[in-house]
Each structure stands twice: as C-alpha cells, then as structure tokens.
Amino acid sequence: MLEKLPEFKTQLEDLDAKLVDPATMADMKLYKSLMQERAHLVPVVEALAKLQELEDSVKEAEAMLKGETDAEMIAMAKEEIASLKLEIPEQENQCKMLLIPPDPMDGKNIIMEIRAGTGGDEAALFAADLYRMYTHYAETMGYKIEVMNSNETGIGGIKEIVFSVGGKEVYGNLRWESGVHRVQRVPETESQGRIHTSAVTVAVLPELEETEIEIRPEDLKIDVMRAGGPGGQCVNTTDSAVRLTHIPTGLVVIQQDEKSQIKNRAKALRVLRARLYELEETKKAKERAEERKSQVGTGNRSERIRTYNFPQNRLTDHRINLTLYKLDLIMEGQLEEVIEALKIAAGEAALRDA
C-alpha cells in the first residue's frame, strides 16, 4: 500500500491546483465532482502517511537498538517497538478500508428480499430469524425499515418478505448480504434432536429514483386483483392488489400489503426499478466474471455465502474464510464485525485490481 503514497500525494496536489483554477470555479458541476474526489483522497493520504510514520519509527528504534549498550535504554526501545508493532496492523486495516473506491451506490437506500429456500418450515423459521437480525442491526444504525410485502406461515415463519431500509450508507454496509444463507440446527419441529440443514436466499437491491431507471408506460402490463391472505377490513374485499409485468424482461412484481391500489402500485414500481437494476448489473458481472473475480463474490443471490451453525454457536462466511464463535450475538443484530471484514476484503480485492 505504501508504494501508492507518492502517487496519491501527487493526485492531491493536482486536485488542489485545479480547484483554485478560475475555470474550475466557474463550472459548479466540475467543482463539486473534484471536491468529492478530494474528500475521498485526503483521509487516504493522511492514513497512509501515518502508516509510513509508524513503520519509519520502528526502523529507527530497531537501528538505535543495535548500537545501544545501556540496559535501560534497550528496555525502553524494545517497549516502544512492541507498542508500534501493535499499532501497525490496525492502521493497515484503516488504510485498506479507505482505499476502497467509492461506489456511488453505497449511499443508496435498499430493498431487501428474504425468501425461504430448501428446508420447508425450518427454512421459513430461519427466514424470520434473519429478518429479525437485520431489523435489530437497522435499529442500532438508526435505519428505518418499511415492510413492502410479506408472506408468513402459521408457525411464525416467513416464506417471503420484501422490505426497504433507509438511512446513511445502507447499501454500502449491507450490499454483501446477497446470496444463500445456510443454517444448521435442531428445528423446533424436530422431536428426535437431529440437526437439519436449510437455506434462505437474500437479495439486496439499491433503491433507485425514477430518473435513474426509466420504465416506459408501454412496457408495463398492469393487472389489479383482490388481495389474498390476512389483512384489514378492506384488503380482501376490494381490487387493491397490483401485479406489474415488465414486458421486455418478463419481470413480475405483485404488491398487496396496502389497502390502496395507488399505494400498492407505487411500491411495486419501487421494487421493479430495483430488480431491473439488479438484472442489468448481473449481466455486466457475467461479462467481466472471467476477467476479474472479486474475493468477496459476485453478490449473486444463488451464491452460498454463509453458514449459521447453532449447535457450535458458529458463523462462517465462506467468501473470506471468516469464522466467528458468537452466532448468538450476531443473530441479535451485532453484524459490525462481519461487515467490516467484508469491506476490508473488498478493499484488498480493489487494490489488486487497480
């Protein structure tokens, strides 16, 4: 990483020169873009400079140690070296985090979809557990959750739930949750104590504005119908449910949680925009998959990413070989350690590809 420090310093000097140029100041769009670039670059340069300073201090102390004969000075030098070497890994991790190229999508809100996969009732129960886990995490982060559509089972499980999460850097923090989550545990319905393996799929889609994804009216087939399942007085007696079919792609979105047809249509369009973006990104990812394969994975919802082993209180993220024996805490929403490790791995992959 440190070999990039001179290059980044030069980039920062060039940016500062451009920012004081009258031509740049006259172009507010360009000025804003350069300021955003500088805002990302300054902490990178400062963090790398701090890392360089730590490593230089270690070298100086080690050099002093070689020619030192005083026992007290030797002990002090060794103590200083040990202290500095403890700081270096932490500073390296900070640098890796800062070196992750900023993704304009990271600041977006998201639409998250959780669906029970193989495993029947146990998969539906685990889908409900994952939804609670993400809800607890959102609460600690100050995020707002809005359920858009859900299909529950009679024993407290969830076959499918679609919900939005709003707040600061939501997509940047939760983007790596897309994929297959596998659970190993003794189901509540198991009378003989046998461990079962079930799976749940999670999709994390950045929520886009109307101006970012164009959906032409002529490309939509809109059907209205009577909502099914439990609901309020009106939900099953009026044609409030909406089914949108995007003709060019064949994508279908059904929304029925609201009593109002207009509200259901608006929610369905939000989900459709997010799925259209995912479809386009999946296509791009396949095109470059052989050229560059990220260590963190593709984010494809069919990729097995994580195993939750309840008997051993163990969580394993297969993409970065991370194993933590604190599954009980993670299921309560304490996802920060997992998310940070994934971000660091993404930063390392980005550095290799740079």
* 109-144 pLDDT per residue, tens: 999 999 999 888 899 999 999 999 999 999 999 999
Q: Does 310 lie in the same domain as 280?
A: no
Q: Is residue 105 part of a domain?
A: no
In angstroms, the CA 303 to CA 300 distance is 6
Q: Is the whole model's pTM more than 0.85, yes or no? A: no
Share above pLDDT 70 across residues of the chain, in percent, rounded to a whole number: 88
What is the helix (H) or strand (E) element at residue 88, kind and residue range? Answer: helix 71-98
Question: Same structural domain for residues 56 and 136?
Answer: no
Tell me the two tokens of residue 116. Answer: 């029970």
Q: Is the pLDDT of residue 291 over 50?
A: no
Does residue 248 contact residue 214 with C-beta atoms inside 8 Å?
Answer: no
Q: Rounded to 5 degrees, what are φ and ψ at 277? A: -65, -45
Helices 28-67 & 5-19, crossing angle to 10 degrees? Answer: 150
280-295: average pLDDT? 61
State the pLDDT at residue 354.
55
Could you tell me the CATH number of the domain that includes residue 230? 3.30.160.20
Task: Give the best-scoring range by mean pLDDT among 15-29, 89-103, 207-221, 321-335.
Answer: 321-335
At 136, is the secondary structure helix, strand, or coil?
helix
Q: Among 4, 5, 37, which residue's Cα sits nearest to residue 18?
A: 37
Strand partners, 242: 224, 255
pLDDT of residue 345: 85
Model confidence over 141-196: pLDDT tens digits?
A: 999 999 988 888 888 899 999 999 999 889 999 999 999 999 999 877 666 678 88
pLDDT in tens, 36-81: 888 889 999 999 999 999 999 988 888 888 877 788 888 888 888 8
First to last CA, the chain: 11
Contact (Cβ atoms closer than 8 angstroms) between residue 343 and residue 320: no
**Domain boundary residue, one of 286, 304, 323:** 286
Does 116 fall in a domain?
A: yes
Range(s) of the domain holding residue 240: 217-286
Token pair belonging to 315: 């969580």
**Same structural domain, 191 and 308:** yes
Tell whether 80 is covered by a domain: yes
Closest CA to 85 of 129, 49, 51, 117: 51
pLDDT of residue 112: 94
Band of residue 227 on the pLDDT scale cut at 50, 70, 90: low
Within this chain, do residues 167 and 227 fall inside the same structural domain, yes or no?
no
Q: How confident is the model at residue 238 (pLDDT cuts 50, 70, 90)?
A: low
- 191/228 same-domain check: no
Residues 138 and 200 in one domain: yes
At 125 the pLDDT is 93
- Residue 303 phi, psi dihedral angles, 5° rounding: -85, 125
- Cβ density class 235-246: b for 16+ within 10 Å, e for less: bbeeebbbbbbb
CA distance 109 to 131: 17
In this predicted structure, the answer to whether residue 232 has a pLDDT above a threshold of 80 is no
Distance of CA 195 to the CA centre of its chain: 30
Within 10 Å of residue 231's Cβ, how many Cβ atoms?
16
Going by pLDDT thresholds of 50, 70 and 90, the confidence category of residue 235 is very low
User: How far is the C-alpha of 240 from the C-alpha of 221, rounded, in Å?
Assistant: 16
Q: What is the domain count for the chain? A: 3
296 and 203 within one domain:
yes
Q: DSSP 3-state assignment of 168?
A: coil
Asked if residue 130 and residue 40 are part of one domain, the reply reads: no
- The reported pLDDT for the residue numbered 231 is 44
- For 50, counting Cβ atoms within 10 Å of its Cβ (0-12 exposed, 13-18 middle, 19+ buried), the class is middle
Q: Within this chain, do residues 41 and 154 fall inside the same structural domain, yes or no?
A: no
Residue 103 in domain: no
Same domain, 12 and 90: yes
Is there a single domain that holds both residue 198 and residue 301? yes
Same-domain status, 202 and 296: yes
